[in-house]
Amino acid sequence: MGIRDSKLVKSAWKNKNYIIQTDDSVNTKKCAIYFSSNAIYYPDTEDAFFERIIKRDSYEWYGKRVSDASKHIFVRDVFFVINKISLFFVSRA
């Protein structure tokens, strides 16, 4: 049984595994999207998953933002892997 089959990971599927934040101090229409593995692939253990996702609510790129983006979207891989969601991003000129 892999980590994706564990009860802990399946319970995390029900949570919102993304953050959307805006920075009103930046006057652009740029949006940066950051994707995080957060211990789903390596190390592939329930302990690592619990520590990073459940306990610390960590997003891998949270501290390394694109400086000239006014919107930042942080997404965990669990959001895609588990829910098999396809996202379409539309940009307005």
Give me the pLDDT at residue 26, please.
95
Within 12-88, strands assigned E span: 18-22, 31-36, 71-76
**Exposure string for 45-63, b = 16+ CB within 10 A, e = fewer:** eeeebbebbeeeeebbeee
Query: Mind listing the pLDDT tens digit for each residue in 25-36?
Result: 999 999 999 988
- For the cut 80, the answer to whether the pLDDT of residue 3 exceeds it is no
**Burial of 9: CB neighbours in 10 Å, binned 0-12, 13-18, 19+:** buried
- Who's near 28: CB < 8 A, 6+ residues apart? 68, 69, 70
**Is the pTM value of this prediction over 0.75?**
no
Query: Mind listing the pLDDT tens digit for each residue in 40-77?
Result: 667 778 888 888 888 988 888 899 999 999 999 998 87
